[in-house]
Amino acid sequence: MPESTFSKMATELIEMIAEYLDNQDLLSLRLSCRKSDAQTIRTVSERFFSPLQTSLLGPEIQKLEEISRGRFAKYIKRIRIQDDIETSEKMWSTGQRVFIEDRPSTMWTFDMMFNIELDKIGVRNLQNILRTCQLRPVELIISESHDRVGNLCPTSEACATLAQHIFLDSNLAIASLSIDTKPRSWLITATASLIPEFQGRELGLSMLKEARVRLNCNKSSIYWTEQLVLHAPMLEGLYLSSMCVGATCSFYKTKTPLHNMRLQSHKACFQLKNLHLDHTNASVASLLNLLSNSKDTLVSITLAHVELHPLTEASNWTQLLQTIGKECLNLNQWQLDLYLQRHPYLSEVLGRSGVKFTGFGKTCLEKEDRDGLTILYKGDRDEKTIVFKYNGPGAARALYKMASYARLETKD
């Protein structure tokens, strides 16, 4: 091919790419393409189309569909789905309240019950693109600010709902999953790492190896927990947190044990190696069901500020820890975090109820098991935590021994 013809084709490609870019990227694009050869075009395409960001609103839906049908689709490796939360964050940072009429047209909308209005977002368009394998990303990211509705109690329902419809209803193969509320933030992000070569085979969560679900105490927490328990047989690492330590929040005035719905009667399909429960409510039966197929595989477990129901029975902890210590013989690491003192506000709203292991220490263990135990104290004036940690081959024996020291402390 003559050099002039090749250069002309490259220039045309550059102009085609430019049509999809915002003004802030356009100058950078043109500078990158001054030497227009095939390698430059490939490099530039990967740079500007992966990650691809879309709000799934208005013209961006058409833009997404055009890209998925075009020659640049193969360069899209990551798709980020979010609306114009940055504009709202700037308004919030100056103390302004974002009323509905003030929001940008590129922001998702919610009904009177704070449910995201999916019919006004191009979720179905993206589902169709992914189901037909027009795009084969390695990662999908959904980012959402969950204080946009001015709710008194922060809710992660919107992001979790979008993740449900996009991650689970688009014929994907998911290798790892994270739905996480950033601490001390209004931001929640859902991330799915995908296996492109298995896309379109209706595998869903069946190849999932790692999952982290850190939500509020709401129906999304229960939904995603149930999906993992029932449909992720290859799961090895699981992190669950309900964020709110025993209640949804004072706004709703209700308590919702996270796992106590179908976990009471359904055993988990997976064989875990690592389990981390953080600020989670559960019954002993539900937790034992969670570990029902992991007796031979579990090597690490962390129970951080977990509340067992009913709260009035210390024997719950004795039963749980003794069962794990007796049955999970390959355990070599465990950690138990307990409140010694709660923040005054939480004590007032939730009451004060907790288990103690007074008297338990290294001298309670056999000599060969003592070196693995560490006891730490953390916190400040308002909130204090004791942390029991064990590393070593005697982990199962140490946990079984610790169980007999469970005592209940209750203060109203």
The 10s digit of each residue's pLDDT in 361-402 is: 999 999 999 999 999 998 777 788 999 999 999 999 999 999
Residue among 376, 370, 372, 337 nearest 355 (CA): 337
Answer with the residue of higher pLDDT: 73 or 114: 73
The mean pLDDT value for 322-342 works out to 93
Q: Is the pLDDT of residue 79 over 50?
A: yes
Task: Clarify whether residues 8 and 68 are in a common domain.
Answer: no
394 burial type by CB count under 10 A (0-12 exposed, 13-18 middle, 19+ buried): buried
- How many separate domains does the chain show? 3
Task: Clarify whether residues 301 and 264 are in a common domain.
Answer: yes
Look up residue 256 and give its two tokens: 């919702």
203 phi, psi to nearest 5 deg: -90, -30
pLDDT at 24: 56
The mean pLDDT value for 19-33 works out to 60
Q: Is residue 403 part of a domain?
A: yes
Q: Is the pLDDT of residue 172 over 90?
A: yes
Answer with the residue of higher pLDDT: 214 or 101: 214
Task: Clarify whether residues 44 and 65 are in a common domain.
Answer: no
35 burial type by CB count under 10 A (0-12 exposed, 13-18 middle, 19+ buried): exposed
Q: b or e along 95-131 (b: 16 or more beta carbons within 10 Å of the residue's beta carbon)?
A: eeebeeeebeeebbbbeeeeebeeeebbbebbbebbe
Q: Is residue 151 part of a domain?
A: yes
Give the structural domain span for 89. 50-192
pLDDT at 330: 97
Task: Clarify whether residues 59 and 81 are in a common domain.
Answer: yes
pLDDT at 71: 77
**Do 100 and 149 form a contact (C-beta atoms < 8 A)?**
no
Q: Is residue 204 part of a domain?
A: no
The predicted-structure confidence for 198-220, as pLDDT tens digits, reads as follows: 999 999 999 999 999 987 666 77
Distance, CA of 139 to CA of 174 (rounded, Å): 9
Distance, CA of 270 to CA of 151 (rounded, Å): 36
Task: Clarify whether residues 65 and 39 are in a common domain.
Answer: no
Answer with the residue of higher pLDDT: 371 or 7: 371
Q: Is residue 198 part of a domain?
A: no
Task: Clarify whether residues 92 and 180 are in a common domain.
Answer: yes
Task: Give percent of the chain with pLDDT exceeding 70.
Answer: 68
Task: Clarify whether residues 40 and 103 are in a common domain.
Answer: no
Give the model's confidence band at 1: pLDDT under 50 very low, under 70 low, under 90 confident, else very high. very low
Q: Is residue 197 part of a domain?
A: no
pLDDT at 331: 98
Q: Is the pLDDT of residue 256 over 70?
A: no
Task: Clarify whether residues 38 and 94 are in a common domain.
Answer: no
Helix (H, G, I), strand (E, B) or coil at 78: strand
Task: Clarify whether residues 33 and 54 are in a common domain.
Answer: no
Task: Clarify whether residues 358 and 251 are in a common domain.
Answer: yes
Distance, CA of 290 to CA of 211 (rounded, Å): 14
pTM above 0.75, yes or no: yes
Ranking 52-61, 158-167, 210-219 by mean pLDDT, the lowest is 210-219
Look up residue 30 and give its two tokens: 């043109």
Q: Is residue 176 part of a domain?
A: yes
pLDDT at 136: 96
Give the model's confidence band at 329: pLDDT under 50 very low, under 70 low, under 90 confident, else very high. very high
Q: Is the pLDDT of residue 36 over 60?
A: no
Give the model's confidence band at 17: pLDDT under 50 very low, under 70 low, under 90 confident, else very high. low
Task: Clarify whether residues 272 and 333 are in a common domain.
Answer: yes
Q: Is residue 199 part of a domain?
A: no
Task: Clarify whether residues 107 and 3 are in a common domain.
Answer: no
Q: Is the pLDDT of residue 248 over 90?
A: no
* Domain end marker among 192, 224, 240: 192
